[in-house]
Amino acid sequence: VTHAPRTPPLAFRDIADVAAALRERGERFSTPRRLVLEALFAADAPVSAEQIARDAGVELTSVYRGLERLEELGVVTHAHIGHGPGLYALTGRAEREYLVCERCKAVTSVEPERLDRVRAMIREDFGHEASFRHFPISGLCAACAGERERERET
């Protein structure tokens, strides 16, 4: 089976790149957008819009609108891990996929390659190209699965 390359050439290495892309589209590189981008570049893990608003000192509404545009541009992506707010990260850095324990809420983040066998199997069985970046693999982590097993034996 042939499939698309994992990492499409990452077009946005720094803020200037993003600025150029925005201008090319007739959009503006405003101060709030720059601040949002700076917050994203500074973050070392996915962050909520609220957190970005605080870090960047930009109105929450504008953060959401800015992130929407940046997402269209392919600069950022967001993920829904658990029940909290969506978490945003630069696309280049978001190249991780997630497993979440429904019970203890533990989040395991793995490199996409480690899920390729699983992905291939799902593709074969269902024709579905699975991704666990936006929504994680849910279930029970090893520890909680073990505990449930013990409870069951009672």
Partner DNA sequence: CTAGTTGCAAATATTTTGCACTTAG
Partner DNA sequence: CTAAGTGCAAAATATTTGCAACTAG
Residues at the site binding DNA, with contacts judged by CB under 7 A: 19, 22-23, 26-33, 48-50, 58-62, 64-66, 68-69, 83-86
Piece in contact with a copy of itself (CB under 8 A), picked from 21-29, 39-47, 69-77, 124-132: 124-132
Dihedral sign from CA coordinates of 130, 133, 139, 142: positive
141 belongs to the binding site for a copy of itself (CB under 8 A): yes
CB of 67 closer than 8 Å to CB of 59? no
21 alpha carbon, distance to own chain's centre: 21
Alpha-carbon separation of residue 70 from 33, 62, 139 (angstroms): 9, 12, 31
**CA-derived radius of gyration, the chain:** 18
Question: What is the rounded distance in angstroms from the CA atom of residue 57 to the CA atom of residue 33?
Answer: 11
Residues 91-120 that bind a copy of itself (CB under 8 A): 99-102, 108, 110, 114, 117-118
Min dist. Cβ of residue 42 to a copy of itself (A): 28
35 belongs to the binding site for a copy of itself (CB under 8 A): no
Footprint of a copy of itself (CB under 8 A): 4, 99-102, 108, 110, 114, 117-118, 121-122, 125-132, 134-142, 145, 148-149, 152
